[in-house]
Amino acid sequence: MNSHNHNQDLTRRDFIKGGSAATLMGLLGGIELTARAAEAEAPAVAVAKTRCAVIGLGSWGREIVSTLSRIPGAEVAAVCDTYGASLRRAARSAPGAAQVDDYRKILADDSVPAVIVATPTHLHREIVLNALEAGKQVYCEAPLAHTIDDARAIALAARKASSQHFQSGLQLRADKHRAFVLNFIRSGARGKAVAARAQYLKKQSWRQAAPSPEREGELNWRLNKETSIGMVGELGIHQLDASNWIHDALPVSVTGFGSMLLWRDGRELPDTSHLVVEYGNGVRLIQTCTLANSFEGEYEVYYGTDGTVTFMGSKSWLFKEADAPLLGWEVYARKDSFYQETGIALMMDASKQKSLTQEVTDVITPLQYALENFLRSASDVRAAVEDFTSNYGEDEEALKEHMATVPRQVGAGYLEGYQATVLAIKAHEAISKNQRVELPSSLFELA
């Protein structure tokens, strides 16, 4: 198992929280969507401690450990990596956790019911399948795998493990702010979907130095076409999945273009890509990713006949069309100016409205929402299994039926994880070949 490292300060946290584009939106104009303060400030429900382990301790794995340390319901019982330096660095955020160099030791420990897999993508299959076989509750980072066969194997195993909870690391699916805005979009306030646009721009190399050629190869697995599905798979997958979620549809084709524009250092994957994702109703998402430029950072834009919704980090705005019907509530909403437009701010918490240029330090990240929901569901599922077996014994079929009725917290399951991974893999194929790839509906189905 290799540590799940990102180059320098490149993390999924950077991808999710956004950057200079938020300042740009301060110059454009928008109405910020805001949930009722009472709803946004509802007190958290007390959750029993859930012992968990993090497997894979690169920069993202360490970010997961750090985030878990801020969640009252989390107890990091063990951290695991085969590379000693990564193991020791992660342990600083979890001083009471056991330091383990073989994930199988964690799977054999009955006192640790939940595991979070953050290893390099191409190593997910073996670890996840073994964890499910061992009866663990499993959170697997996205993408699920680097091949469709591996992703399907993981998803089928998760589906079969009906008395366990499986969650894919598509954090935006658990983000309360996203859920709030999605309900707003579903209400029809945006009108009919017209188009979508997304980008991830961050100028930096993914290449990392190492003390030996062997270790350098392990660290730079993202630059190897045999082990990586590139930027669109490692980072762009979150925007692709968000588009599917918002459009409530799966695409019918994807067209990609890839170029090597800056980092000509022997890597096998392009540093810049353009993607056109087509849905059956004629709506298309256009996504650009590059490691050669940082202008405007990361954002998503969803265009409709009555308005446009823009996401930037933890904030979003509605830009209404001049002929759009009056919604009523927008008269009282905060409005920000963006160039020649006015945007309505879409916010969860009306009582903490801050300037676009102010640093927001108290925002719960999508990762924290996702991990909180995973631990809550893991605890609820485990308790439901124990209650059922104590009352009705070891009736597997009856238990399976019962578990289908146990509510789970919001988050991406095995099917969403599989479908997003399939799309990312086919998008990477299109980018690598500079061509259009058809996406039959059967591709997204689990046999």
| Local confidence band at 35 (pLDDT 50, 70, 90 cut-offs) | low
Q: What is the CATH number of the domain that holds 334?
A: 3.30.360.10
H helical segments located in 235-308: 237-247
Q: Determine the Cα–Cα distance for residues 108 and 105; give it in Å rounded to an integer.
A: 5
Residue 34 maps to a domain: yes
pLDDT, one tens digit per residue, over 184-214 is 899 888 999 999 999 999 999 999 888 888 8
Give the residue, 326 or 187, on which the prediction is more confident. Answer: 187
Which tens digits make up the pLDDT trace of 138-186? 999 999 999 999 999 999 999 999 999 999 999 999 999 999 999 889 9
| Residues 186 and 330 both lie in one domain | yes
Q: Which of 325, 328, 296, 330 is nearest to 313 (CA)?
A: 296
pLDDT at 332: 57
**Is 179 found in the same domain as 167?**
no
Q: What is the pLDDT of residue 394?
A: 83
Whether residue 56 lies inside any domain: the answer is yes
How many domains, in total, are found in the chain? 2
pLDDT value for 331: 60
> In this structure, are 188 and 329 located in the same domain?
yes
Picking from 352, 382, 402, the residue at the C-terminal end of a domain is: 352
What integer is the mean pLDDT of 281-288? Answer: 97
Residue 421 φ/ψ, nearest 5 degrees = -65, -40
With beta carbons less than 8 A apart as the criterion, state whether 119 and 127 touch: yes
For residue 252, is it within any domain? Answer: yes
Instruction: Tell me if 333 is assigned to some domain.
Output: yes
| Residue finishing a domain among 311, 329, 352 | 352
Give dist(CA 409, CA 406) in Å, integer: 10
Q: Name the amino acid, one letter, at 431.
A: I
**pLDDT for 326:** 78
pLDDT at residue 301 is higher than 50: yes
Which pLDDT does position 334 carry in this prediction?
A: 65
Tokens for 193?
């979907």
Strands of the 114-117 sheet, one edge to the other: 98-100, 74-80, 50-55, 114-117, 137-141, 166-169
The CATH number of residue 62's host domain is 3.40.50.720
| β 74-80/50-55 pair status | parallel
103 and 48 in a common domain: yes
Which of 327, 352, 377 lies at the terminal end of a domain, its last residue?
Answer: 352
Residue 260 shares a structural domain with residue 348: yes
Q: What is the mean pLDDT of residues 411-417?
A: 97
Please indicate, yes or no, whether residues 334 and 347 belong to a single structural domain of this protein.
yes
pLDDT tens profile 229-260: 999 999 999 999 999 999 999 999 999 999 99
Residue 370 backbone phi and psi in degrees, to 5: -65, -45
Closest CA to 17 of 423, 297, 343: 297
**Given a cut of 90, is residue 222 above it in pLDDT?**
yes
Which residues contact residue 384 at a Cβ distance below 8 angstroms, ignoring those fewer than 6 apart? Answer: 402, 403, 406
Prediction pTM value: 0.88
Tell whether 249 is covered by a domain. yes
Q: Could you give the percent of the chain with pLDDT greater than 90?
A: 69
**Is residue 438 situated within a structural domain?**
no
Answer yes or no: do 30 and 66 share one domain: no
- pLDDT band, residue 348 (cuts 50/70/90): low
Distance in Å from the first CA to the final CA of the chain:
29
Residues 228, 281: one domain?
Answer: yes
Q: Assess whether pLDDT exceeds 90 at residue 352.
A: no
Asked, for residue 179, whether it belongs to a domain, the answer is yes
Considering the domain architecture, whether residues 180 and 329 belong to the same structural domain is answered as yes
Long-range contacts of 62-66 (CB under 8 A, 24+ apart): 62/86, 62/89, 62/90, 62/93, 63/11, 63/12, 63/13, 63/367, 64/116, 64/118, 64/367, 64/371, 65/90, 65/93, 65/94, 65/97, 66/93
The answer to whether residues 98 and 185 belong to one domain is no
- Give residue 226's domain range: 16-38+175-352
Q: Does one domain contain both 143 and 243?
A: no
pLDDT band at 91 (very low <50, low <70, confident <90, very high): confident
Q: Is residue 214 assigned to a domain?
A: yes
Per the prediction, the chain carries an average pLDDT of 87
Q: What percent of the chain has pLDDT over 70?
A: 82
At 251, list the tokens. 């695409």
Residues 87 and 233 occupy one common structural domain: no
The confidence score (pLDDT) of residue 130 equals: 98
